[in-house]
Amino acid sequence: MNIDDWKSQIKRGTLEYSILLMICKRAYYGYEIMSELEKYPILSAKENTIYPLLRRLLKEEFLSSFWQETAEGLPPRKYYSITEKGKEYLEAMSVEWGNLLTAIEEIKEEGNGQKNA
Amino acid sequence: MDKKMHDYLNQIDRYLKPMAAAERADIINEIKSEMLELEAQKGMSAEEILERLGEPRELAKAYMGEAIVKNNTFSLRKFSTMFAFYGLAGFTGMFILPIFSVLSVGLMFCGAIAPVAGIVKFLGFLVGIEVPWVMFQFGTYTAPAYVVFPLSVVTGVLLFAAGWGLWKLMIRYIRTVSLGKRKLQQQE
């Protein structure tokens, strides 16, 4: 049984949503996003996934970016924050996400009902 | 900063040559910023950092793959990005991408030229000049001068559509290749 292929499809489909949900609360920089995602194996992703994805979201104007100096004497970091367009997109995603969860729940219960009958 | 990390950034920069200079600098600075952060905050060695980032060509390819797939329009910059991408895409890319790209651009070019030639022939016909270097031939059939123009428009549209279709097909191929690659990396 190989579940990895399915897991990577799930990840591909939900990474964008997860990242927008994070950035919607406050500005994040790339490495910070990756460390946050590392807490969840199903979502964890490397530089070669996260950076190109962030660039695409920038190009699509769902995100905007700015460079900020750090206090600890480190080089400046590139922060990402959400735009108005990004918020609308995120809202639409949340609706669809809710639809998906409801659908899965209903399908599960239907299955149970048949079993009991 | 360690020489190895410096070389790494230079390699990325070289792979990303077809991108606009400002965009490239932004990408390099972001990776550099992460390298220095990992070094200072996490105390990682240069080797550990480079291992985390993976092969420079793979990282560069991920950036370029996303840049190519992001829209379907045709531009010269995109064409050159794609050309650079096929060098990174591996063996099948070595055949499919050059053949498809040259063929699709060639077809679109011919598609655009055909009606122009048709107009020349038609104008020549109107003023009574025979234009011998434009003619419409299909097998043994040679079209008379007055139908060359409509025929050339139809042929032009067909050629252009074929080129455009190939172009789309190629974009889809690149998307599959870069997604496939990403999948492999995630399974590691």
Helix axes A30-38, A47-59, angle to 10 degrees: 130
Q: From CA B87, how far away is CA B18, in angstroms rounded?
A: 12
Contact check, Cβ <8 Å, A74/B34: no
Identify residue B120 by its one-letter amino acid code.
V
* Closest chain B residue to A59, measured at CA: B70
Q: Which of A12, A31, A52 sits opposite B63 (nearest CB)?
A: A52
Q: Which domain holds residue A19?
A: 4-116
pLDDT at residue B77 is higher than 80: no
Measure B145 CA to nearest chain A CA, in Å.
Answer: 50
The answer to whether A5 contacts chain B (CB < 8 Å) is yes
ipTM score of complex = 0.85
Which residues lie below 8 Å from residue A53, measured CB to CB, with a gap of 6+? A15, A16, A19, B66
pLDDT at residue B187 is higher than 50: no
In chain A, the number of structural domains is 1
pLDDT at residue B185 is higher than 60: no
Q: Which residues between 67 and 96 in chain B have a beta carbon less than 8 angstroms from any beta carbon of chain A? A: 67, 70
* Closest chain B residue to A33, measured at CA: B34
pLDDT of residue B176: 74
Measure B53 CA to nearest chain A CA, in Å.
Answer: 6
Q: What is the 3-state secondary structure (H, E, C) of chain B?
A: CCHHHHHHHHHHHHHCCCCCHHHHHHHHHHHHHHHHHHHHHCCCCHHHHHHHHCCHHHHHHHHHHHHHHCCCCCCHHHHHHHHHHHHHHCHHHHHHHHHHHHHHHHHHHHHHHHHHHHHHHHHHHHCCCCCCCCCCEECCEECCHHHHHHHHHHHHHHHHHHHHHHHHHHHHHHHHHHHHHHHHHHHC
Q: What average pLDDT does this structure show over B30-53?
A: 92
Q: What is the CATH number of the domain that holds A64?
A: 1.10.10.10
